[in-house]
Protein backbone atom coordinates (compact mmCIF):
# COMPACT_ATOMS: atom_id res chain seq x y z
CA UNK A 1 0.00 0.00 0.00
CA UNK A 2 1.17 3.54 -0.76
CA UNK A 3 1.65 6.12 1.98
CA UNK A 4 -0.60 8.31 -0.16
CA UNK A 5 -3.60 6.14 0.81
CA UNK A 6 -3.24 6.86 4.54
CA UNK A 7 -5.47 9.61 5.90
CA UNK A 8 -4.08 11.82 8.66
CA UNK A 9 -7.18 12.95 10.56
CA UNK A 10 -7.03 15.88 13.00
CA UNK A 11 -10.12 16.30 15.19
CA UNK A 12 -10.98 19.93 16.02
CA UNK A 13 -7.46 21.33 15.62
CA UNK A 14 -7.21 24.80 17.17
CA UNK A 15 -3.71 25.95 16.26
CA UNK A 16 -2.92 27.07 12.70
CA UNK A 17 0.81 26.72 13.49
CA UNK A 18 0.22 23.06 14.34
CA UNK A 19 -1.81 22.45 11.18
CA UNK A 20 0.89 24.06 9.04
CA UNK A 21 3.60 22.01 10.78
CA UNK A 22 1.61 18.83 10.21
CA UNK A 23 1.35 19.62 6.49
CA UNK A 24 5.11 20.16 6.33
CA UNK A 25 6.02 16.85 7.98
CA UNK A 26 3.46 15.01 5.85
CA UNK A 27 5.26 16.36 2.79
CA UNK A 28 8.59 15.24 4.28
CA UNK A 29 7.32 11.69 4.84
CA UNK A 30 5.29 11.12 1.69
CA UNK A 31 1.83 11.43 3.22
CA UNK A 32 -0.74 13.31 1.15
CA UNK A 33 -4.22 13.18 2.70
CA UNK A 34 -4.93 15.63 5.53
CA UNK A 35 -8.48 15.72 6.87
CA UNK A 36 -9.68 18.23 9.48
CA UNK A 37 -12.79 17.47 11.52
CA UNK A 38 -14.56 20.68 12.60
CA UNK A 39 -11.33 22.75 12.58
CA UNK A 40 -11.17 25.76 14.90
CA UNK A 41 -8.61 27.55 12.77
CA UNK A 42 -8.03 28.50 9.14
CA UNK A 43 -5.78 25.88 7.50
CA UNK A 44 -4.95 28.34 4.73
CA UNK A 45 -4.33 31.32 7.03
CA UNK A 46 -0.95 33.10 7.15
CA UNK A 47 0.32 31.21 10.24
CA UNK A 48 -0.49 27.80 8.80
CA UNK A 49 1.05 28.73 5.45
CA UNK A 50 4.19 30.02 7.16
CA UNK A 51 4.79 26.73 8.96
CA UNK A 52 3.89 24.53 5.98
CA UNK A 53 6.79 25.81 3.83
CA UNK A 54 6.91 23.29 0.93
CA UNK A 55 3.85 21.48 2.27
CA UNK A 56 1.50 24.16 0.94
CA UNK A 57 0.04 21.73 -1.57
CA UNK A 58 -1.09 19.56 1.37
CA UNK A 59 -2.91 22.56 2.87
CA UNK A 60 -4.48 23.55 -0.43
CA UNK A 61 -6.14 20.15 -0.86
CA UNK A 62 -7.05 19.65 2.82
CA UNK A 63 -10.52 18.19 3.39
CA UNK A 64 -12.71 19.80 6.04
CA UNK A 65 -15.57 17.64 7.33
CA UNK A 66 -18.25 17.97 9.98
CA UNK A 67 -17.79 14.66 11.79
CA UNK A 68 -15.20 11.99 12.47
CA UNK A 69 -17.41 9.34 10.88
CA UNK A 70 -17.44 11.38 7.66
CA UNK A 71 -13.64 11.58 7.72
CA UNK A 72 -13.34 7.80 8.02
CA UNK A 73 -15.65 6.85 5.14
CA UNK A 74 -14.12 4.07 3.03
CA UNK A 75 -11.32 3.25 5.50
CA UNK A 76 -10.61 -0.32 6.55
CA UNK A 77 -7.78 0.01 9.08
CA UNK A 78 -8.18 2.78 11.68
CA UNK A 79 -5.71 3.62 14.44
CA UNK A 80 -6.28 6.29 17.09
CA UNK A 81 -3.73 8.06 19.25
CA UNK A 82 -4.29 8.51 22.97
CA UNK A 83 -2.25 9.53 26.01
CA UNK A 84 -4.68 8.02 28.51
CA UNK A 85 -4.32 4.56 30.06
CA UNK A 86 -7.38 2.57 29.08
CA UNK A 87 -8.91 -0.33 30.97
CA UNK A 88 -9.81 -2.18 27.77
CA UNK A 89 -9.12 -5.58 26.33
CA UNK A 90 -7.55 -3.77 23.37
CA UNK A 91 -4.00 -2.90 24.49
CA UNK A 92 -2.14 0.34 23.90
CA UNK A 93 0.71 -0.06 21.41
CA UNK A 94 3.65 2.09 20.39
CA UNK A 95 3.72 3.73 16.94
CA UNK A 96 6.53 1.35 15.96
CA UNK A 97 4.38 -1.67 16.81
CA UNK A 98 1.06 -0.61 15.34
CA UNK A 99 1.58 1.73 12.41
CA UNK A 100 3.05 -0.77 9.92
CA UNK A 101 -0.43 -2.33 10.01
CA UNK A 102 -1.74 0.66 8.06
CA UNK A 103 0.53 -0.37 5.19
CA UNK A 104 -0.68 -3.96 5.08
CA UNK A 105 -3.83 -3.24 3.08
CA UNK A 106 -4.47 -2.00 -0.43
CA UNK A 107 -7.39 0.06 0.82
CA UNK A 108 -7.58 3.47 2.51
CA UNK A 109 -6.72 3.61 6.20
CA UNK A 110 -6.61 6.37 8.80
CA UNK A 111 -4.59 7.64 11.75
CA UNK A 112 -6.59 9.87 14.10
CA UNK A 113 -5.28 12.65 16.38
CA UNK A 114 -7.41 14.46 18.94
CA UNK A 115 -7.74 18.16 19.83
CA UNK A 116 -4.75 19.83 21.46
CA UNK A 117 -6.57 20.51 24.73
CA UNK A 118 -8.30 17.19 25.43
CA UNK A 119 -7.28 14.41 23.07
CA UNK A 120 -9.85 12.02 21.65
CA UNK A 121 -13.03 11.31 23.60
CA UNK A 122 -14.16 7.76 24.41
CA UNK A 123 -16.82 8.06 21.71
CA UNK A 124 -14.23 9.10 19.12
CA UNK A 125 -11.88 6.31 20.19
CA UNK A 126 -14.69 3.80 19.59
CA UNK A 127 -14.19 4.22 15.85
CA UNK A 128 -10.66 2.73 15.95
CA UNK A 129 -9.52 -0.88 15.91
CA UNK A 130 -6.12 -0.20 17.51
CA UNK A 131 -4.70 2.46 19.83
CA UNK A 132 -1.24 3.93 20.08
CA UNK A 133 0.46 5.89 22.82
CA UNK A 134 3.84 7.54 22.22
CA UNK A 135 6.28 6.59 25.01
CA UNK A 136 7.70 9.68 26.71
CA UNK A 137 9.52 10.69 29.88
CA UNK A 138 6.93 10.52 32.66
CA UNK A 139 8.42 13.63 34.25
CA UNK A 140 7.02 15.57 31.28
CA UNK A 141 4.96 13.30 29.01
CA UNK A 142 2.97 15.90 27.07
CA UNK A 143 3.60 16.25 23.33
CA UNK A 144 1.90 18.82 21.17
CA UNK A 145 -0.13 17.87 18.13
CA UNK A 146 2.53 18.56 15.50
CA UNK A 147 5.17 16.63 17.47
CA UNK A 148 2.88 13.61 17.77
CA UNK A 149 2.14 13.62 14.05
CA UNK A 150 5.85 13.96 13.28
CA UNK A 151 6.77 10.87 15.30
CA UNK A 152 3.99 8.81 13.72
CA UNK A 153 4.72 10.06 10.19
CA UNK A 154 8.37 9.08 10.62
CA UNK A 155 7.41 5.57 11.75
CA UNK A 156 5.08 5.20 8.76
CA UNK A 157 7.77 6.36 6.36
CA UNK A 158 10.34 3.98 7.83
CA UNK A 159 7.89 1.06 7.68
CA UNK A 160 7.17 1.85 4.04
CA UNK A 161 10.87 1.47 3.16
CA UNK A 162 11.01 -2.16 4.31
CA UNK A 163 10.49 -4.60 1.40
CA UNK A 164 7.58 -6.93 2.04
CA UNK A 165 7.07 -10.37 0.58
CA UNK A 166 3.79 -10.77 -1.25
CA UNK A 167 1.44 -13.12 0.61
CA UNK A 168 0.90 -16.56 -0.95
CA UNK A 169 -2.84 -16.04 -0.71
CA UNK A 170 -4.95 -12.92 -1.16
CA UNK A 171 -5.35 -11.05 2.15
CA UNK A 172 -8.79 -10.86 3.70
CA UNK A 173 -10.66 -7.84 2.34
CA UNK A 174 -11.93 -6.00 5.39
CA UNK A 175 -15.27 -4.24 5.53
CA UNK A 176 -14.95 -0.49 5.19
CA UNK A 177 -15.72 1.86 8.06
CA UNK A 178 -19.14 2.86 6.71
CA UNK A 179 -20.23 -0.77 6.27
CA UNK A 180 -19.21 -1.67 9.84
CA UNK A 181 -20.84 1.49 11.25
CA UNK A 182 -24.06 0.59 9.46
CA UNK A 183 -23.96 -2.80 11.16
CA UNK A 184 -23.42 -1.24 14.61
CA UNK A 185 -26.44 1.02 14.13
CA UNK A 186 -28.53 -1.95 12.93
CA UNK A 187 -27.34 -4.05 15.89
CA UNK A 188 -28.17 -1.37 18.46
CA UNK A 189 -31.63 -0.82 16.94
CA UNK A 190 -32.51 -4.52 17.07
CA UNK A 191 -31.07 -5.09 20.56
CA UNK A 192 -33.05 -2.14 21.90
CA UNK A 193 -36.19 -3.42 20.18
CA UNK A 194 -35.98 -6.93 21.65
CA UNK A 195 -35.11 -5.64 25.12
CA UNK A 196 -31.53 -6.85 25.37
CA UNK A 197 -30.35 -3.24 25.55
CA UNK A 198 -31.95 -0.44 27.52
CA UNK A 199 -31.55 3.24 26.61
CA UNK A 200 -29.67 4.10 29.82
CA UNK A 201 -27.09 1.28 29.37
CA UNK A 202 -26.99 0.97 25.56
CA UNK A 203 -23.96 3.23 25.12
CA UNK A 204 -21.76 1.26 27.53
CA UNK A 205 -22.77 -2.15 26.16
CA UNK A 206 -22.39 -1.06 22.54
CA UNK A 207 -18.90 0.17 23.37
CA UNK A 208 -17.98 -3.36 24.50
CA UNK A 209 -19.60 -4.92 21.45
CA UNK A 210 -17.71 -2.53 19.17
CA UNK A 211 -14.42 -3.58 20.74
CA UNK A 212 -15.28 -7.25 20.24
CA UNK A 213 -16.14 -6.83 16.57
CA UNK A 214 -13.23 -4.46 15.88
CA UNK A 215 -10.80 -7.10 17.11
CA UNK A 216 -12.41 -9.58 14.70
CA UNK A 217 -11.70 -7.38 11.64
CA UNK A 218 -14.86 -8.30 9.76
CA UNK A 219 -15.06 -8.65 6.00
CA UNK A 220 -17.96 -7.16 4.03
CA UNK A 221 -19.35 -10.67 3.52
CA UNK A 222 -19.24 -11.37 7.26
CA UNK A 223 -21.04 -8.10 8.01
CA UNK A 224 -23.72 -9.02 5.46
CA UNK A 225 -24.11 -12.41 7.20
CA UNK A 226 -24.48 -10.77 10.61
CA UNK A 227 -27.01 -8.28 9.29
CA UNK A 228 -28.97 -11.16 7.83
CA UNK A 229 -29.12 -12.72 11.30
CA UNK A 230 -30.33 -9.42 12.74
CA UNK A 231 -32.99 -9.18 10.07
CA UNK A 232 -34.24 -12.68 10.92
CA UNK A 233 -34.28 -11.91 14.66
CA UNK A 234 -36.21 -8.72 13.97
CA UNK A 235 -38.77 -10.58 11.81
CA UNK A 236 -39.37 -13.22 14.52
CA UNK A 237 -39.71 -10.55 17.21
CA UNK A 238 -42.15 -8.57 15.08
CA UNK A 239 -44.23 -11.69 14.36
CA UNK A 240 -44.42 -12.58 18.07
CA UNK A 241 -45.22 -8.99 18.99
CA UNK A 242 -48.02 -8.76 16.39
CA UNK A 243 -49.55 -12.06 17.55
CA UNK A 244 -49.47 -10.95 21.18
CA UNK A 245 -51.02 -7.58 20.33
CA UNK A 246 -53.77 -9.29 18.30
CA UNK A 247 -54.68 -11.67 21.13
CA UNK A 248 -54.86 -8.83 23.61
Say if residue 196 is in the same domain as residue 146: no
Residue 58 has pLDDT above 80, yes or no: yes
Say if residue 111 is in the same domain as residue 153: yes
Residue 166, in any domain of the structure? no
Say if residue 148 is in the same domain as residue 189: no
| Rounded Cα distance, 233 and 112, in Å | 35
Q: Where are the alpha helices (DSSP H) in 64-219?
A: 68-71, 95-98, 122-125, 145-160, 177-193, 202-216
Give the CATH number for residue 93: 3.40.1280.10
Say if residue 17 is in the same domain as residue 108: yes
pLDDT of the residue at 154: 97
Say if residue 64 is in the same domain as residue 153: yes
Rg of the chain over all Cα atoms, to the nearest angstrom? 21
Residue 11, in any domain of the structure? yes
Of 131, 160, 189, the residue that ends a domain is: 160
Which domain does 138 fall in, by range? 3-160
**Looking at the 3D structure of the chain, how many domains does it have?**
2
Residue 54, in any domain of the structure? yes
Residue 169, in any domain of the structure? no
Say if residue 85 is in the same domain as residue 145: yes
Of 127, 160, 193, the residue that ends a domain is: 160
Of 160, 194, 211, the residue that ends a domain is: 160
Model confidence band, residue 105 (pLDDT cutoffs 50, 70, 90): confident
Q: Supply the mean pLDDT for the chain.
A: 90
Say if residue 236 is in the same domain as residue 143: no
Give the CATH number for residue 203: 1.10.8.590
Model confidence band, residue 248 (pLDDT cutoffs 50, 70, 90): low
Phi, psi of 17, rounded to the nearest 5 degrees: -65, -40
| Tens-place pLDDT, residues 142-181 | 899 999 999 999 999 999 998 766 555 566 678 888 999 9
| Tens-place pLDDT, residues 75-86 | 989 999 998 665
Residue 171, in any domain of the structure? no
| Tens-place pLDDT, residues 107-131 | 889 999 999 988 899 899 999 999 9
Amino acid sequence: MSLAQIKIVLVEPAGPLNVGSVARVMKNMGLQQLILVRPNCDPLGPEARLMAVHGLDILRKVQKVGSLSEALQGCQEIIATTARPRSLLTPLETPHQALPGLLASNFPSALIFGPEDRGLSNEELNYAQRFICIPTNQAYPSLNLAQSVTICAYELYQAAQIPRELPSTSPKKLASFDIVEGYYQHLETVLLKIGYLFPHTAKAKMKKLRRLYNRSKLSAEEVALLRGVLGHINSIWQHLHDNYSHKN
